[in-house]
Chain A
Amino acid sequence: MTDTAWIDAALTSARPQAVGALLRYFRNLDTAEEAFQNACLRALKSWPQNGPPRDPAAWLIMVGRNVAIDEVRRHRKQEPLPEDEAISDLDDAEDALAERLDGSHYRDDILRLLFICCHPDLPATQQIALALRIVSGLTVKQIARAFLVTEAAMEQRITRAKARVADAGVPFETPGAVERVERLSAVAAMIYLIFNEGYSASGDTLEARAPLCEEAIRLARLLLRLFQSEPEIMGLTALLLLQHARSAARFDSDGSLVLLDDQDRSLWNQKMIAEGLALIDKAMRHRQSGPYQVQAAIAALHARAEKPEDTDWTQIDLLYGALEIIQPSPVVTLNRAVAVSKVRGAQAALDMIEPLGPRLSNYFHFFGVRGAFLMQLNRNEEARVAFDRAIALANTSAEAAHIRMHLDRLMRDSAPRGTKASKK
């Protein structure tokens, strides 16, 4: 690896810990980020000459802090009459500088950094953008590309999100046990959002968004390393790995979505599957079930099936049943119905989803699944109506193309019968 590539990787891996620690010192996100940026600039100059430091994060924290404090000093000299308050702040900062760097804080530093991105006032897309910018260190340009907006628009969005977070007040006190659990669960949800943003991409957005899946996995592993014994974080990491393991098989050469049953399973990433399965095994030992673990267990049953017909649908039905209790939602029931259709047939599955109609009347997958059940029951006209509705609600061209394939099949299947009828 070249020097620059090496330094890039070192800066990326040190970033959450370094920015997290600088945020704790300066209690201001902009100052912390700027201090980190300045430290990175110095690293780019110093590391190639002097060799890399043994602990890059500690180096960056120390240098970032010194540079920022120097700046405050310079600033103070330019002001003829410094306020007393500013001076006492500076003294505090210098005291902090004297404090030995130790690792005991860094777990909460990183969690805090992730947690401030999850502010409930921020819409999901802004939480994701903020986390990708602040924690992952993606450039505004990269994030803008993933969200299909201009760089200027994304810059503005991130600035606004930061201002909102700052107004809300960043929680700096060391969290208690209950609070830590709450933060952890908010952060887990945000990491899952990042993953889904990448996972739901297709066609034109595929290339720009696919890295979000890998970034989410990196953040999940980071979180798990900080909280080694949290079964739900194991479940989350496993879920992301098992889903991402299929990525090479999920799209055909035209960029169209390939359904699980039709995927070339030899393209699944066995290393990711192995890691995912190992994490589920670890999580199960804790006997503290949770939604990520159950979803990961479902993904694991798919991953374990070498052929689609080997899939243990009975077990999947049971797991979705468990998920309906822990985290009731019409979408979970819809997913369960797919398993039910394999175990007990399309009629039972259709009966299960009929009551969901009013709540899922704008949900693409509801009509896609409903159409498929109706088609299996040879209720082709009703199936066609459902598929038409699904196409109207499709979020991506890949989704629409997939439903059109069903429709074509319907037309093909019903056409010969129609011809025969007309001959009579």
Chain B
Amino acid sequence: MLYAILCYHDEDFVGSWTREQDATVMRKLAVVQDKLAKQGRLGPVARLLPTTSATTLRKEDPPLVLDGPYAETKEQLLGFYVVDCKNLDEALDVARDLGAANPGGAYEIRPVGVLNPGSIPT
């Protein structure tokens, strides 16, 4: 079963990391990802640019384009992982490992219904 792990964190806080702190967190997260990748369980991973660069299209008639992210929350959606896990417990274990590397905020674990691997060459 594929699970999406959606990463929510306080953007102001993440933005206050020094370059070294940011690099340290990324390095620790890479260790967790490497382990999953070697097991063939790691799908697409994304770190999103700040919500200030976001635009929202509300599907009204006619659609309305708004500046900023869809949800105004204390914590913002800053990225996601797709991982292959047997069950929720396993997905939670992955999230715990990621959380140990990058404390604070929250992960939303959502089973994936359809995953189109896409066609963008990487």
- Contacts from A to B (Cβ < 8 Å): 1, 5-6, 9-10, 12-14, 52, 54-56, 214, 218, 221-222, 224-225, 228-229, 234, 237, 271, 274-275, 278-279, 282, 285
Contact, CB under 8 Å: A52 / B52: no
Given the complex, which residues of B lie within 8 Å of A6, measured CB to CB? 103-104
Contact, CB under 8 Å: A218 / B16: yes
Contact, CB under 8 Å: B53 / A282: yes
Which segment, of B7-15, B32-40, B78-86, B113-121, faces chain A? B7-15
Q: How far is the CA of A54 from the CA of B13 in the complex (A)?
A: 12
Q: Contact check: which of A55, A214, A278 meets B53 at CB < 8 Å?
A: A278
Contact, CB under 8 Å: B74 / A55: yes
B50 at interface, CB cutoff 8 A: yes
Q: How far is the CA of A56 from the CA of B10 in the complex (A)?
A: 10
Known: A6-B104, A52-B104, A222-B12. A279 touches B67 (CB 8 A): no
CB distance from A340 to the nearest CB of B (A): 33
Given the complex, which residues of B lie within 8 Å of A1, measured CB to CB? 21, 24-25, 103
Q: Contact check: which of B18, B25, B52, B74 meets A237 at CB < 8 Å?
A: B52
Given the complex, which residues of B lie within 8 Å of A234, measured CB to CB? 52, 67
Q: How far is the CA of A55 from the CA of B104 in the complex (A)?
A: 11
Work out how many contacts link A and B, with CB atoms closer than 8 A.
Answer: 60
- Interface residues of A: mostly helix, strand, loop or mixed? helix
Contact, CB under 8 Å: B52 / A271: no
Q: How far is the CA of A365 from the CA of B32 in the complex (A)?
A: 51
CB distance from B34 to the nearest CB of A (A): 20
Contact, CB under 8 Å: A221 / B50: yes
Contact, CB under 8 Å: B52 / A224: yes
Known: A1-B103, A10-B13, A218-B16. A225 touches B49 (CB 8 A): no
Contact, CB under 8 Å: A9 / B103: no
B87 at interface, CB cutoff 8 A: no
CB distance from A108 to the nearest CB of B (A): 17
Given the complex, which residues of B lie within 8 Å of A275, measured CB to CB? 49-50, 53
The B44-79 residues at the A interface (CB cut-off 8 A) are 49-53, 55, 65-68, 74
Q: Given A9-B13, A228-B68, A237-B52, output 15 extra A-B contacts at Cβ < 8 Å.
A: A5-B21, A9-B18, A10-B13, A10-B16, A13-B16, A214-B19, A221-B52, A228-B67, A229-B66, A229-B67, A275-B53, A278-B49, A278-B53, A282-B55, A285-B65
Which single residue of chain B is at the shortest CB-CB distance from A136? B16
Q: How far is the CA of A56 from the CA of B12 in the complex (A)?
A: 11
What 5 pairs between A and B have smallest CB-CB spacing?
A13-B16, A228-B68, A13-B12, A12-B16, A278-B53
Given the complex, which residues of A lie within 8 Å of B66, measured CB to CB? 229
Given the complex, which residues of B lie within 8 Å of A237, measured CB to CB? 52
Contacts A/B (CB < 8 Å), 12 sampled = A10-B13, A13-B16, A225-B11, A225-B68, A229-B67, A234-B67, A271-B49, A275-B53, A278-B49, A278-B53, A282-B55, A282-B67
Which single residue of chain B is at the shortest CB-CB distance from A224? B52
Which single residue of chain B is at the shortest CB-CB distance from A55? B74
Q: How far is the CA of A279 from the CA of B52 in the complex (A)?
A: 8
Q: How far is the CA of A55 from the CA of B10 in the complex (A)?
A: 9
Given the complex, which residues of B lie within 8 Å of A54, measured CB to CB? 74
CB distance from B63 to the nearest CB of A (A): 13
Q: How far is the CA of A34 from the CA of B24 in the complex (A)?
A: 32
CB distance from A87 to the nearest CB of B (A): 37
Given the complex, which residues of B lie within 8 Å of A5, measured CB to CB? 21
Given the complex, which residues of B lie within 8 Å of A221, measured CB to CB? 15, 50, 52
Given the complex, which residues of A lie within 8 Å of B50, measured CB to CB? 221, 275
Q: Contact check: which of A12, A55, A228 meets B52 at CB < 8 Å?
A: A228
Given the complex, which residues of A lie within 8 Å of B74, measured CB to CB? 54-55
Q: Which of A5, A55, A228, A285 has the most CB of B within 10 A?
A: A228
Q: How far is the CA of A5 from the CA of B25 in the complex (A)?
A: 12
Question: B77-99: contact bitstring with A at CB < 8 Å (1 yes, 0 no)?
Answer: 00000000000000000000000
Contact, CB under 8 Å: B21 / A9: yes
Which single residue of chain A is at the shortest CB-CB distance from B28? A1
CB distance from B3 to the nearest CB of A (A): 25
Which single residue of chain B is at the shortest CB-CB distance from A274? B49
CB distance from B7 to the nearest CB of A (A): 16
Q: How far is the CA of A8 from the CA of B50 in the complex (A)?
A: 21
Q: How far is the CA of A271 from the CA of B22 in the complex (A)?
A: 14
Contact, CB under 8 Å: A13 / B10: yes
CB distance from A146 to the nearest CB of B (A): 16
Given the complex, which residues of A lie within 8 Å of B55, measured CB to CB? 282
Q: How far is the CA of A128 from the CA of B62 in the complex (A)?
A: 45
Given the complex, which residues of A lie within 8 Å of B15, measured CB to CB? 13, 218, 221
CB distance from B83 to the nearest CB of A (A): 23
Which single residue of chain A is at the shortest CB-CB distance from B24? A1
Which single residue of chain A is at the shortest CB-CB distance from B25? A1
